Amino acid sequence: MKKTKIIDRNSFLKYAEKYGTPLYVYNGDLIINRYSELYNYITWPKLKILYAMKANYNVGILNLLKNNRAFLDTVSPAEVHLGLKLGFEKEDILFTSNNITDDEMHEVKKTGVLFNIGALSSLEKFGSVYPESKVCIRFNPDVYAGEHKHVQTAGSITKFGVLLSEVDRVLEITNKYNLKVIGLHEHTGSGIGETEKVYESMTSLLGIAKRNLFPDLEFIDFGGGFKVPYSPTTKRIDYASFGKKISSIFSNFCKEYGKDLFMYFEPGKYIVAESGHLIIEVNTLKNNRGRLIAGTNSGFNHLIRPLLYGSYHQIENISNPAGEIKIYDICGNICETGDCFAEQRELSEIREGDKLIIKNAGAYCYSMGSIYNLRAMPSELLIVNGNELLVTKRPSNKELAELVLSGSNLN
Ligand SMILES: Cc1ncc(COP(=O)(O)O)c(C=O)c1O
């Protein structure tokens, strides 16, 4: 695998100058390396890595992954349409439905992509309208894991998946409508630090497969959740050992099962998180009774993870890297007190006009963004092999106001 070129401080300053800030910059070479290395770590040969595009639907990133023969995990009809429009084959896309309307069900079914269904009533409805279809069933593996309670997607307090104990009801419905269950699925959570939890949830789901209830099984999908370190003190998981262990669990299962099935994973964060940086500019400095507050030209509408999950993102002052270390709150320009990227953070001295980079901003940052306070989303720049691709251009304030007006019936 090619060594990934990192984007250095001077390049970030150059991009900020050229494209303006706030600006998202993604390292496309790192994305491809992260995607490809999973195939080296997980040695089971019948492996498919589906990129969970909810993490970042940037069209440049999707094209890059498609050109590297990636598969896609989608969660909404528009994600399915976008994937297909970009040239992903329908066979390479999985649609994990979650509380969809009937219209959405018909809309996605027409595209021909495979449904992954995680509720008995949805399965019943799907079977009654589309008997004899192929389908994947999402189970709740009853394992709690993930870096925040909002991203733990299994266990007692979750809306996701069919209970393991409800497998007989699944069988009743699939038999009634002659549905062909070709896949079993689980997704335990996002940012799983304890690898044991992954092995545990794999074992839960494989327990269902081992009962030989579904003769048409082609794959088992163990979801996403591969953790990346956000803080400099967090140790990176040894993915080589992890990959070997999960391959061995799966290979032992297949021996016992009597057939070599495909193993799927659906990482989002692992593939794109570390590739992303948000460059912002400090425009206001304030001293609130000794508390230094750096006000910037971005906010939680552009990167909500600190506010939503209390997430830590490393921040660096790229304009004054050798400055004296001081303690700052790094805040945004949104009219809410919670609008801070970091509180009481050590950073080299900040002057008005300095550029800061927020690291690990590739996953669940732009894709969770909004135009709250009517502030436009930043432009997005993708760097591949030194080439700059401005994938998304930030509208001006006037253009944003026009966009709002043009979307209204009243104009
Ligand atoms: C069904 C499903 N698959 C995959 C993922 C991707 O998770 P991650 O980005 O943590 O790998 C998610 C995210 O929540 C998900 O809900």
Convert the pLDDT of each residue in 250-302 to its tens digit.
999 999 999 999 999 999 999 999 999 999 999 999 999 999 999 999 999 99
**Protein residue with its CA nearest to atom 12 in ligand 1:** 224
**Protein residue with its CA nearest to atom 14 in ligand 1:** 190
Average pLDDT over residues 210-221: 95
Q: Tokens 């432009």 — which residue? A: 379
What band does 410 get if pLDDT is binned at 50, 70 and 90? Answer: confident
Average pLDDT over residues 352-363: 98
Predicted local confidence at residue 94, as pLDDT:
98
| Model confidence at 188: pLDDT above 90 | no
Convert the pLDDT of each residue in 111-165 to its tens digit.
999 999 999 999 999 999 999 999 999 999 877 766 767 767 666 767 789 999 9
Q: How far apart are CA 359 and CA 279, in angstroms?
A: 9
Predicted local confidence at residue 92, as pLDDT:
98
Q: Which of 194-198, 273-277, 374-378 has the lowest mean pLDDT?
A: 194-198
Q: Which of 22-26, 189-193, 331-335, 384-388 has the lowest mean pLDDT?
A: 189-193
Q: Which residues pair with 134 in a beta bridge?
A: 180
Convert the pLDDT of each residue in 61-119 to its tens digit.
999 999 999 999 999 999 999 999 999 999 999 999 889 999 999 999 999 999 999 99
Given a contact cutoff of 8 angstroms between Cβ atoms, the answer to whether 300 and 306 are in contact is yes
Pairing state of beta strands 340-348 and 325-331? antiparallel
Convert the pLDDT of each residue in 13-49 to its tens digit.
999 999 999 999 999 999 999 999 999 999 999 999 9
Question: Which residues contact residue 350 at a Cβ distance below 8 angstroms, ignoring those fewer than 6 apart?
Answer: 282, 285, 292, 294, 317, 320, 323, 326, 328, 356
Convert the pLDDT of each residue in 298-323 to its tens digit.
999 999 999 999 999 999 999 999 99
Average pLDDT over the chain reads 94
Predicted local confidence at residue 150, as pLDDT:
75
CA 210, 215, 218, 223 torsion-angle sign = negative
Predicted local confidence at residue 243, as pLDDT:
96
Q: Which residues pair with 357 in a beta bridge?
A: 279, 316
Distance 267 CA to ligand 1 centre (A): 6
| Model confidence at 397: pLDDT above 80 | yes
Given a contact cutoff of 8 angstroms between Cβ atoms, the answer to whether 204 and 248 are in contact is no
Q: How far apart are CA 134 and CA 131, in angstroms?
A: 9
Distance 348 CA to ligand 1 centre (A): 35
Atom number, ligand 1, closest to the C-alpha of residue 273? 9
DSSP secondary structure letters along 56-104: ---HHHHHHHHHTT-EEEE-SHHHHHHHHHTT--GGGEEEE--S--HHH
Q: Is 254 a residue of the active site?
A: no
- The full set of domain ranges for the chain reads 42-267, 274-406
Instruction: Tell me the fold of 42-267.
Output: TIM Barrel (3.20.20)
- For the domain covering 274-406, report its CATH number: 2.40.37.10
| Backbone phi, psi, residue 137, to 5° | -110, 130
**Ligand 1, residues 97, 158, 187, 239: which to mutate, most atoms within 8 A of Cβ?**
187
DSSP secondary structure letters along 298-363: --TTT--HHHHH-----EEETT-TTSPEEEEEEE-SSSSTT-EEEEEEEEE---TT-EEEE-S-SS
| Backbone phi, psi, residue 159, to 5° | -90, -5
Average pLDDT over residues 46-59: 98
Q: Which one is catalytic: 136, 254, 331, 335?
A: 335
Distance 228 CA to ligand 1 centre (A): 13
Average pLDDT over residues 369-397: 97
Q: How far apart are CA 153 and CA 189, in angstroms?
A: 5
Given a contact cutoff of 8 angstroms between Cβ atoms, the answer to whether 350 and 366 are in contact is no
**Ligand 1, residues 53, 54, 152: which to mutate, most atoms within 8 A of Cβ?**
54
> Ligand 1 site: residues with CB under 6 angstroms?
52, 55, 73, 96, 153, 187, 190-191, 223-226, 266-270, 363
Given a contact cutoff of 8 angstroms between Cβ atoms, the answer to whether 265 and 223 are in contact is yes
Distance 223 CA to ligand 1 centre (A): 6
Predicted local confidence at residue 151, as pLDDT:
67
**Protein residue with its CA nearest to atom 4 in ligand 1:** 224
Q: Which of 4-13, 126-135, 171-180, 356-365 has the lowest mean pLDDT?
A: 4-13
Q: Which of 1-5, 12-16, 342-346 has the lowest mean pLDDT?
A: 1-5
DSSP secondary structure letters along 223-280: ---B----STTSPPP-HHHHHHHHHHHHHHHHHHHTS--EEEE--SHHHHGGGEEEEE
49/193: higher pLDDT: 49
Distance 2 CA to ligand 1 centre (A): 27
54: DSSP letter: G
DSSP secondary structure letters along 96-152: E--S--HHHHHHHHHHTPEEEE--HHHHHHHHHHSTT-EEEEEEE-----SSSGGGB
